[in-house]
Chains A and B, each alone.
Chain A
Amino acid sequence: MTRVGFTRLFIILLAVGLLELLCRLGVIPSFTLIPPSAMAQSLWTILASGKFTPDIVTTLTNVGIAIATAMIAGIALGTLLQSWPAARRVLDPLFATYYAVPMYAFYPLLIVIFGLGDLPQVAIGFLLAVMAVIINTLNGLDRVPPVLLKAARVHRLGPLAAALRVRLPYAAPYVFTGFKLAVAYSFIGVIGAEFITSSRGIGYEISFAYNNFDNGVMYAMILFILLLVITVNMTLHVWEKRLLARRRRA
């Protein structure tokens, strides 16, 4: 482990240790926060019992669908807009203000459209994620050197083949940034939406536990989300580093 990594781990352990101490000494009352060791123990018990496995599977499936659809739609729309400057000029101001729109405000509308199942949650995740993919795809495609576009023409590639074989591969690091954001936004969108009216999923279980003063379950599920998101992000970070290492000058 590097020195920076060691320092980071030390700070985290110190913070967790301090929290444990404050909880055990009663400085932080147990109805506000339970000690981290109790959270971990509760999480272990929950996972071992399999009680919340259907909720975890539901949330991860919905997040997965939101990410996949946002990636497909975002890359396709980004590629289309990059080759259609007039449409881009019209839409650019809307892109700039997109994240100022509180997406959860559309939740009633989404329920009317999609019903009370999982689709409204997926839709919120998708809506939050797709713009990040579009913007980063456009950003990457804007940076493709003209000489590579010429090389594509010399190889007699049509517009679609040039997009798939030259433009998007070149833009891959930027698209990957969009993917990372899409993962984060999908988690936020889906779990946040589960809090509101869903009847299953991790967000719903946290909300249910909160309303029933069940701190053991609530903090265990919060810890689960934290560990899950950190693991996913670290994996993506390592993957991104490998991808970029190939392109970096030696």
Chain B
Amino acid sequence: MTSHVALRGVSRIYPGKPEVHALGPIDLELARGEFFAVVGPSGCGKSTLLDVIAGLASPSTGEVTFESKRVKGEVPPGIGVVFQEDASFPWLTVHDNIAFGLREAGAAEGEVAAQVGYAIEFMGLKEFARAYPAQLSGGMRQRVCIARTLVLKPRLILLDEPFGALDQQTRLLMGDELLRLWRETGATILLITHALDEATMLADRVGVMSARPGRFLDIISTAWPRERDSTIVSSESFGRLTSRIWTLLRGESIRALGRA
């Protein structure tokens, strides 16, 4: 297994009185092209983990490497992030939102038009290319953010509860789209989610985190075929896997709830 992303002894401690030990220490390796999901109780440091991997936050101890290079202080090229909150730019149209990163990277307008046109079509946003985010639903705005990330062809995509605000049906359909994207781009994906079924359905492996400070209690391999979609939720193994994750997580969730 070629390590695409590696975390060694990574922890994150927020200074203050008292200091808050949010994460780790964590060791993790992601293979190139793997779909890895992280679940854990609220406040266990899932988003901190994503920030540290992306280079948006520095680890207090340990190190993160992406493609064998240490991630330090800034987001390395080749990493794309989709956040839980709406990160679309309200002053830009859907088209210009998606084109934002390409233009910043200095891509020629012809290339921008081609790439953005494809992404708009791919994400089912063709009718709304000239609309502003305020005119779209939450799910569509999230698709805009995903498209804005994908046109840059990241080799590592970090998703922080991207479907958190969506209803169950839309989440399943968005999950299908995400699987399709993953297959077509060949990117490595790390998905942070609080939805156990979502993690089980989408990921090759699911990392189950403890209550704060978040550590991996276990990493469960789903062994799904690469060609899969949301229909697997009705399979027997899906129920068994979700149940196994919940068994691990239940005690931690109660601990986290008690602390809150």
- A-to-B contact residues, CB < 8 Å: 145, 147-148, 150-151, 153-157, 161, 165-166, 169-170, 172, 246-250
Contacts and interface: CB of A to CB of B under 8 A. Distances in A.
B172 interface: no
Interface residues of B, number: 22
B83 A247 contact: no
Contacts of A148: 87, 89
Interface string B175-190: 0000000000000000
26 contacts: A145-B85, A147-B87, A148-B89, A150-B81, A150-B83, A150-B87, A151-B81, A151-B87, A153-B75, A154-B54, A154-B75, A155-B100, A155-B104, A156-B74, A166-B89, A169-B89, A170-B91, A172-B91, A246-B91, A246-B132, A246-B134, A247-B90, A247-B132, A248-B134, A249-B134, A250-B135
Contacts of A150: 56, 81, 83, 87
A239 B194 CA distance: 43
B79 to A, nearest CB: 7
B101 interface: yes
Contacts of B81: 150-151, 154
A155 B82 CA distance: 12
Interface in B16-55: 54
B86 interface: yes
Interface of B is mostly: loop
Contacts of B85: 145, 147
B5 to A, nearest CB: 16
Nearest to A248: B134
A161 B85 CA distance: 22
B91 A154 contact: no
Interface string B60-82: 00000000000000110101110
Given A145-B85, A169-B89, A170-B91, A154 B132 contact: no
A123 B203 CA distance: 64
B104 A165 contact: yes
Contacts of B104: 155-157, 161, 165
- Shortest 9 CB-CB distances between A and B: which pairs? A147-B85, A151-B87, A250-B135, A246-B132, A169-B91, A247-B90, A147-B87, A154-B81, A147-B83
B56 A153 contact: yes
A164 B99 CA distance: 17
B105 to A, nearest CB: 8
A64 to B, nearest CB: 26
Contact of A250 (B90, B100, B134): B134
Residue of B81, B90, B135 with most partner-chain A CB within 10 A: B90
A176 to B, nearest CB: 12
A146 to B, nearest CB: 8
Contacts of B91: 169-170, 172, 246-247
Contacts of A155: 100-101, 104
Interface in B107-141: 132, 134-135
Contact of A246 (B75, B77, B83, B90): B90
Contact of B79 (A154, A165, A246): A154
Contact of A147 (B75, B86, B92, B100): B86
Contacts of A250: 134-135
Contact of B77 (A145, A147, A156): A156
B95 to A, nearest CB: 14
Nearest to B76: A156
Contacts of A153: 56, 74-75
B109 to A, nearest CB: 17
Contacts of B75: 153-154, 156
Given A148-B89, A153-B74, A156-B104, 8 more contacts: A147-B85, A150-B81, A151-B87, A153-B56, A165-B100, A172-B91, A246-B90, A249-B135
A76 to B, nearest CB: 20
A1 to B, nearest CB: 27
Contacts of B83: 147, 150-151
Contacts of B92: 169
B134 A154 contact: no
Contacts of A172: 91
Contacts of B132: 246-247
A79 B100 CA distance: 22
Nearest to A146: B85
Residue of A172, A246, A247 with most partner-chain B CB within 10 A: A246
A121 to B, nearest CB: 35
